[in-house]
Amino acid sequence: MEHRIDRIKKQLHAQSYKLTPQREATLRVLLEREEDHLSAEDVYLLVKEKAPEIGLATVYRTLELLSELKIVDKINFGDGVSRYDLRKEGAEHFHHHLVCIECGSVEEIIDDLLQDVEKIVQKDWGFQVKDHRLTFHGICKQCQEITVEVT
Amino acid sequence: MEHRIDRIKKQLHAQSYKLTPQREATLRVLLEREEDHLSAEDVYLLVKEKAPEIGLATVYRTLELLSELKIVDKINFGDGVSRYDLRKEGAEHFHHHLVCIECGSVEEIIDDLLQDVEKIVQKDWGFQVKDHRLTFHGICKQCQEITVEVT
DNA sequence: AAATTAGATTATAATTATTATAAATATAAA
DNA sequence: TTTATATTTATAATAATTATAATCTAATTT
Ligand SMILES: [Mn+2]
Ligand SMILES: [Mn+2]
Ligand SMILES: [Zn+2]
Ligand SMILES: [Zn+2]
């Protein structure tokens, strides 16, 4: 964790941004909840536990900054809020998501499954791919089992 | 166009919804601008040209209804608004998008490029895929050409 | 046909997420 | 230390979306 923060600190400094206590607190929340998909409000409430004086606008600005630096990715699963997701260290692209339409759970796929598809897009559409968002909507393992039991 | 409306009318009736004049006007706007990616507000302004007495809330409710029936798909490209996109007739899944980070253009890919990936997700993650959202972010053909010229 | 009912729409208010602004504070440079 | 710059706080403003109540429409029953 400390190593990770250090490396991000360097990324910030490289672009002449500082790692203020507020930014660090925000980052720590994101690291502690790496599997989750927190909204700005969610992050704000969690940061408040560590640093009660932080303002919501600062959280928004910090998340915006971290997005620009590609440290976090901003994603929207169709409910009205943006969610912020730490990019896996060293990952070229945003990872994929499985959203269950029964229970609402969100699972992550870290493997990049789109390499072949991207080659096709590049070749057949002449589009130079820089990043992607891929979300599958369907029924998760657990919910499938429940359905079978009920039947 | 009339045929298409007729078929959608039947889909509505099958679920015991009516095709009111307001709903029809909304649908016509979506059909006329099939390539576009209109926000609720955009749709509202265009519908108003045909049916000036329509209310914004009705447009929202109509779009919501059409989403439920899978006649339109709701998507968010990361600016703060939801956009509504007619599903191609007979398509099992939502089509894909290419968003240019230079000029903001949105191009559509109608071919389903995810069949193989979905098989893997199904097999290796035990997730039963019902639908997907795939958006590539990158540089469109035109913007690439401009870049070359400038260089 | 008249009365009844359920569904849909309008106009408006309320809510929620996000962004902008101005004053205060902290940090770095001179 | 003084000065300049960056950042944060508190608050106001904006924008998107949803909720509410009154009204209207069209179908159904009497
Ligand atoms: Mn994730
Ligand atoms: Mn589209
Ligand atoms: Zn589930
Ligand atoms: Zn472009």
Mean pLDDT (10-residue bins), chain A, 151 residues: 91 92 96 96 95 95 96 95 94 95 95 97 97 97 86 71
Q: C-alpha angle with apex B58: B56 to B61, nearest 5 degrees?
A: 115
- Determine whether the distance from the CB of A82 to the nearest atom of strand D is below 7 Å: no
Contact flag A125-B141 (C-beta cutoff 8 Å) = yes
pLDDT at position A150 = 73
Whether B109 contacts chain A with CB within 8 A:
yes
Distance CA A135, CA A60 (A): 24
Rounded to whole angstroms, the distance from the CA of residue B69 to the C1' of nucleotide D23 is 28
Please state, in angstroms and rounded to a whole number, the distance separating the CA atoms of residues B39 and B74.
9
Which residues of chain B have a pLDDT value below 70? none
* Per-residue pLDDT tens digits for B11-22: 999 998 999 999
- pTM over 0.85, yes/no: yes
pLDDT of residue A80: 92
Instruction: Select from A116, A127, A138 the Cβ nearest to the Cβ of B127.
Output: A138
List beta partners, residue A106: A99
For chain B, give the DSSP string: -HHHHHHHHHHHHHTT----HHHHHHHHHHHHTTTS-EEHHHHHHHHHHH-TT--HHHHHHHHHHHHHTTSEEEE--SSSS-EEEEPPTT-SSPPEEEEETTT--EEEE-S---HHHHHHHHHHH--EEEEEEEEEEEE-HHHHHHHHHH-
- Res A2: pLDDT: 86
Cα separation, A137 vs B93, whole angstroms: 10
| Interchain contact, B107 vs A116, CB within 8 Å | no
Is the CB of residue B134 less than 8 Å away from at least one CB of chain A?
A: yes
Q: Which residues of B touch A101 (CB under 8 A)?
A: 130
